[in-house]
Structure 1
Amino acid sequence: MKKIPLFQRHADQSWPAWKTALFWVWNLFWGLCATLGVGLVSLIFAAVIDQKAMLLSYFQNPLIAFLNLAPVVLLYFLLYFILGRASLAYALTAAITLGFTMGSWFKLQFRNDPLMFEDLLLLKEAGNMAGKYQLFLTKTMILALVLLILGWLFLHFCVRGRPGARLLLLGFAAAVLCALPVWNMTQSDDIYNNRTANNGLINQWSATQVYVSKGFVYPFLHSVKSASDAPPEGYDAGRAETILSGYEDADIPEDKKVSVISIMLESYDDFSKYGTPTLDPKVYADYHALEEESLTGDLITNIFAGGTVDSERCFLTGFADLGSFRSATNSYPWYFRSQGYTVTGSHPCYAWFYNRENINVNLGFQDYRFVENYFSPMTDGGVGYDDLFFPELIKLWEQDKALGQPVFQYNLTYQGHGPYNDDQTWWGDDYVVNDKGYTQAELNILNNYFGSVYNTNQNLKAFFDYFREEEEPVVIVVFGDHNPWLGDGNSVYEAIGLDLDFSTPEGFYNYYSTRYLIWANDAAKAVLGNDFVGEGPTVSPTFLMDVVFDACGWTGPAYMQATRPVMEQVPVMNTPTGLYMEDGAVTGTLTPEGQALVTDFDMLQYYYRKNFIYDGLR
């Protein structure tokens, strides 16, 4: 039987031009169709939230569909014009695309965490994860596999065209030229954050859900950008290792081990320090009473009205430049574990927020309570507020204490999270006196914020009162993560006359500062020989744990010891502005001594972040 020309391996030179063109149209068209099928299968498995609606949403925003499908198609043609065989190029394209897609699908099922490019660089972590979970096949997976095999059979027997050397070169060059602008589009932050925003079916504050809302291939390629954790300029790993090797983790003496309960308050600041007019003194009365019996100070954060996780992770790690924390990373929770502490915490919000459910494990927490695994029965699946949260913290303390070891807890409130309603008040109307001409909307925002703060302070008082009677020695650390949102464009800040121009020292403090207090019960004061009263240093969250350790009389881990000279000389490093505090003044230009310390600090934190030392505790 005479072969059908379309199914031949090579175009016959005796063919007329139209037949040669038809031959290559046949080969390229079916290769394109088969590969689009691979891309579509990837999108089906990417849509793990409200699958049908999410899959449809990918095509309702054509740019999302294009940025998921185009890379798959281009990968096929790059391979085709290298290998010269459609079926082989298709098999490799399908294996790569769907192998990664299914890896992400399983990660989402097991850990609510998608596959990122950085994960490919963490083979040990991947092996550990794979060993903990049982993979399985679904009917959809089996159907997809059957369809892919059928696609391969069709290409193998019916799409057999093999380009000659000249066509291979031209085709490959054309595929590369097409791939370059597509690659640039996948790396664009503007396209990722704005033009492909697809928030109708998700919570935009969940990084995992945002990832899912964009498919798989596209967000995976975009994650290449974040995987490049470049070292600081002039990085010298040898110097960093030499500095750090001059110290050893110092054990906390057995007779000095006290429990540490840290609480970060959402959007909390003491506005009375600004002389805020018309503010009722009762709002902060309980907090000021606690300050009178505590070590207190100003905390200069890196954030304003959002970005809670920055203050959180600076405090927990001692880093100023935060990495992705997608693998186990040295931190103070790990150090406390090495000292025999029970290391836990709680947040009455969702585990996916800032991917804490995965990252907190990598930071050394043995257990962390969220809505999903603890608070849900008490909140009907919603977030929890302080009237619930603080009494539960006492119960959780009792549970952790019962394990017979000292305890380190890091807890984070949700109450205080903005924005605050400008149409009606939630807490009453008597926290701010309107003798300054506030609009009703401004007054509502102020009453909603300060009403929340007043309630938080009442809960803090009750919480501390409980620990006054606690026989176990306990130190409590309380601090605010950042200043609150107060109206679009900071309109309410303007109404109360608060300068937020951070090009001036006053505006800088107003914009970035919150407060911290470190309190000890009588049992802890007796054990540690410190009264924990007075004014502490002004520091960044990066150095707040240093202040805690100094108050407790602990030497601390090697990293803390190595970086303590930096805290003593440059206690504030504000990463957004590039401003520092040295000799008590805000400055953008450090002394040569201060600059040398900061340069070493940059190297040390990068080295310490990249070289995990607590493997024996995992």
Structure 2
Amino acid sequence: MPKWICNSTGRIAVAAFATVILVLFSALAAVGEKQVDYLFVLCIFLALLAGFLLLLKGTFPKAISIILMVLLPFGALCCMEFYTHVPWDLTPPIAILNYLFYLILFLIGFTVFGNAAGGSILMAGFPMLVGLVNYFVVSFRSSPIVPWDLYSLRTAASVAGNYEITFNYRIVLVMIGFVYLMVIGSKLKLRFPSRRLLPRIAGVVAAAVLMVGYITAVKTDEVGDLVGLDTTLFTPNVLYRNNGFMAAFLSNLKYMDVEKPEGYSPEAAQEIASAGSGAGEGGEASADSGSGTKPNIIVIMNEAFSDLSVYGDLNVSEDYMPFIHSLQENTIKGDLYVSVKGGNTANTEFEFLTGNSMAFLPAGSVPYQQYIKGEMPSMASHLASLGYETHALHPYNASGWNRDQVYPWLGFEHSHFRDDFEEVSLLRGYVDDHSAFQKLIELYEEKEEGTPLFAFEVTMQNHGGYSKEYTDLFPDIKLLDYEGNETTSVQAAEKYLTLIQKSDAAFQELVTYFQNQDEPTIILMFGDHQPSDYICNPILRLFGKDSTSIQSSIEEFRKGYVVPYVMWANYDLEGEGKTLSANYLGGFLMEQAGLPMSGYQSWLSELWQDYPVLTANFYGKEETAGKLSFHEVDEIRSEGKIQDYAILQYNDLSDSKNRIENFFE
């Protein structure tokens, strides 16, 4: 073996491993891109070259090593940003702020391992893995990783199998870039000045203190203002593009806890509640069950159920909601605005059941995971106080979004998860809506006679992962404008529309069953969010847009957060549909059911008159007759009624020991 080649068994093993892994990822990219071109050749060449360079003996002179040590963190910054954006989107001050993170990370590795090779492995290896995970998270749910996602790891792991992980040449080249940073780092002639234990420990502690100080500083408003960090939380992809991944992620740490609203005190909350509608005052209900009895209430929050024609008229081979579109008698339909898109299902659930709004919580947070830690009033506890038998159903893992703990805390007497659904039919491995709705019928038939039923079900049939090939799902509904040019994303959108049609058919079966029942029953079905941008983009392209371009206009952006709701009863239901957000929907249902609302629901019913739509991203207000105008939610945070809402919500969610009695339920 030539003298300039290292013959160390360990070094040869590392070089071989790195080369094989990079070649494997290059092959996966070729499969994902469905083409072998010059980029594939480039990836293979760079992979082989990386292995060769690792085997070379020798190091850089010390002076050059010091210069490279300063430059390597900048390379790590660039590679990290290339995963989803481009580094030149960062302003110089923000780039420097991000650069410092990678430099300190290098110093930690340098002090722990005692050499530059260890520093470069930590500095490049950590962001390489985090960036790769973030890339796929953005692909799946259209928004980047945020700190509170750590609370949702169990939920993410449980559904990951139904997503198709596809590599492309871009991310493989980024990974190769990170490997080259490690290769260069291994050639630096830099070692920790002392091999003694105490100086090494002191060095590690000093580097760790630097990192803690850095993170603490990035979280402050002063540093954010100094470098000009973007604080527009309602578009997290833009926020991460403008601030850089590390600065954006770390600055979000300050939102881990709910901020106390200005002017909050238990007494202030009580005063606001006392000035509004009193508990138990029902609205002017337009429902008449015909018997004077409390109607059974069935609520279905249908996973990813939406009507993508909000972006424009779709030229499809057949109607994907024929039954719902045909429903007229004893039916109320309308648009529902939600705070999430492509994921975080539990947030729509939270808003509907509690009447609280994500507008007052950190962007991307999940109350089920972060803030609900004990008994909390909800529609379930309110209906239980009215004599209802309350059930929560979800035909999937009980641990998802912490539901197995949260449902009892919200007042549900009975919870039903995947193991409770027997003899079901599956679609893509999920319990289909037909079986999910049959469970509702089963609960109705088994309930105690004379006791009204409240059943709240969150479905799974339409969950993401549409691009995979399935033996039990085919794109029956076609987007005719793409005929003959159906890419993977177009086929995924067609599969999604096919799933929506299957939900529509299952809903028809449920309605038909209750049409023939004597007990008055009202059924509400709504979507939790739209699918991810991967599904919406083929639709948007038909109208000359994409998921990035629509973020420049609130009027276009809000279309990504609207889903349909449909309310049907087997008795006279004469109310009119209205546009509203999820926090108001529970009270609207109570009103249509002819039941007394809680004090909180009554208060929200009054607020709806001024702000029909209030989400984490925007609000809607009627500025011309019959037409809503949409604006960024930050514009109204200081307005009186919105501040009052924030105070009431804080009292309910974050100050339970001083929670107003007999108001929230």
* TM range, smaller chain: 0.5 to 0.7
1:273-309 C-alpha deviation (Å, 9 max, x unpaired): 5444321343211121235641111011111111111
Residue of structure 2 in register with 1:531 after alignment: 574
Task: Note closer, same or farther for the CA distance 1:292–1:436 as it changes in structure 2 (3 Å cut).
Answer: farther
Q: Does 1:608 align with 2:652?
A: yes
Task: Note closer, same or farther for the CA distance 1:225–1:341 as it changes in structure 2 (3 Å cut).
Answer: farther
C-alpha deviation, 1:484, in angstroms: 1.1
Matched to 1:361, the amino acid is P
Q: 8 Å contact 1:423–1:441 — kept in the other structure?
A: no
Q: Residue 452 of structure 1 aligns to a residue in which SS?
A: helix
Q: Does 1:242 align with 2:271?
A: yes
- Residues 199-598 of structure 1 aligned to structure 2 (within 5 Å): 228-246=257-275, 247-250=277-280, 255-290=292-327, 293-321=330-358, 323=367, 324-372=371-419, 374-375=420-421, 378=424, 383-399=430-446, 401-402=447-448, 404-421=450-467, 423=469, 426-436=472-482, 438-485=485-532, 487=534, 490-497=536-543, 499=545, 500=547, 501-522=550-571, 525=572, 530-532=573-575, 534=576, 536-576=577-617, 578-583=618-623, 584-588=628-632, 595-598=639-642
C-alpha deviation, 1:440, in angstroms: 3.4
Q: Distance in 2 between matches of 1:180 and 1:591?
A: 39
Q: 8 Å contact 1:328–1:364 — kept in the other structure?
A: yes
C-alpha deviation, 1:245, in angstroms: 3.2
Q: Residue 392 of structure 1 aligns to a residue in which SS?
A: helix
Q: Which runs of 5 or more residues in structure 1 are unaligned?
A: 1-62, 71-114, 117-172, 191-223
- Residues 8-157 of structure 1 aligned to structure 2 (within 5 Å): none
Q: Distance in 1 between matches of 2:452 and 2:268?
A: 36
C-alpha deviation, 1:433, in angstroms: 4.4
Q: Distance in 1 between matches of 2:264 and 2:648?
A: 9
Matched to 2:396, the amino acid is C
Q: 8 Å contact 1:582–1:594 — kept in the other structure?
A: no
Task: Note closer, same or farther for the CA distance 1:176–1:364 as it changes in structure 2 (3 Å cut).
Answer: farther
Matched to 2:642, the amino acid is V
1:230-254 C-alpha deviation (Å, 9 max, x unpaired): 3123324322111213454217799
Q: Distance in 1 between matches of 2:622 and 2:634?
A: 7
C-alpha deviation, 1:339, in angstroms: 1.0
C-alpha deviation, 1:260, in angstroms: 1.0
Q: Residue 508 of structure 1 aligns to a residue in which SS?
A: helix
Residue of structure 1 in register with 2:136 after alignment: none
1:337-393 C-alpha deviation (Å, 9 max, x unpaired): 111111112111111110100011111111111013x02664799641123212222
Q: Distance in 1 between matches of 2:636 and 2:440?
A: 46
Q: Residue 255 of structure 1 aligns to a residue in which SS?
A: coil
Q: Distance in 1 between matches of 2:637 and 2:261?
A: 19
Q: Distance in 2 between matches of 1:188 and 1:456?
A: 49
Matched to 1:449, the amino acid is Y
Q: Residue 487 of structure 1 aligns to a residue in which SS?
A: helix
Matched to 2:541, the amino acid is A
Q: 8 Å contact 1:422–1:444 — kept in the other structure?
A: no
Larger Rg: 1
Q: Distance in 2 between matches of 1:606 and 1:305?
A: 27
Q: Distance in 2 between matches of 1:377 and 1:424?
A: 21
- Number of residue pairs matched by the alignment: 408
Task: Note closer, same or farther for the CA distance 1:189–1:303 as it changes in structure 2 (3 Å cut).
Answer: farther
**Which segment drifts farther, 411-420 or 494-503?**
494-503
Q: Distance in 2 between matches of 1:358 and 1:338?
A: 20
Q: Distance in 2 between matches of 1:581 and 1:287?
A: 27
Q: Residue 346 of structure 2 aligns to a residue in which SS?
A: helix
Q: Distance in 2 between matches of 1:296 and 1:498?
A: 29
Q: 8 Å contact 1:304–1:483 — kept in the other structure?
A: yes
Q: 8 Å contact 1:565–1:597 — kept in the other structure?
A: no
Task: Note closer, same or farther for the CA distance 1:363–1:183 as it changes in structure 2 (3 Å cut).
Answer: farther
1:540-581 C-alpha deviation (Å, 9 max, x unpaired): 1000112212223434111112232211110111213x4443
Q: Between the two proteins, what is the percent identity of the paired residues?
A: 25
Q: Residue 397 of structure 1 aligns to a residue in which SS?
A: helix
Q: Distance in 2 between matches of 1:485 and 1:227?
A: 25
C-alpha deviation, 1:179, in angstroms: 7.4
Q: Distance in 2 between matches of 1:367 and 1:226?
A: 33
1:105-160 C-alpha deviation (Å, 9 max, x unpaired): xxxxxxxxxx99xxxxxxxxxxxxxxxxxxxxxxxxxxxxxxxxxxxxxxxxxxxx
Q: Distance in 1 between matches of 2:472 and 2:490?
A: 12
Q: 8 Å contact 2:300–2:459 — kept in the other structure?
A: yes
1:185-241 C-alpha deviation (Å, 9 max, x unpaired): 999999xxxxxxxxxxxxxxxxxxxxxxxxxxxxxxxxx978743312332432211
Q: Which runs of 5 or more residues in structure 2 are unaligned?
A: 1-104, 113-149, 152-201, 220-252, 286-290, 362-366
Q: Distance in 2 between matches of 1:291 and 1:185?
A: 60
Normalised TM-score (structure 2): 0.54
1:51-79 C-alpha deviation (Å, 9 max, x unpaired): xxxxxxxxxxxx9xx99xx9xxxxxxxxx
Q: Residue 466 of structure 2 aligns to a residue in which SS?
A: coil
Q: 8 Å contact 1:290–1:461 — kept in the other structure?
A: no
1:420-444 C-alpha deviation (Å, 9 max, x unpaired): 0255684334311434354332332
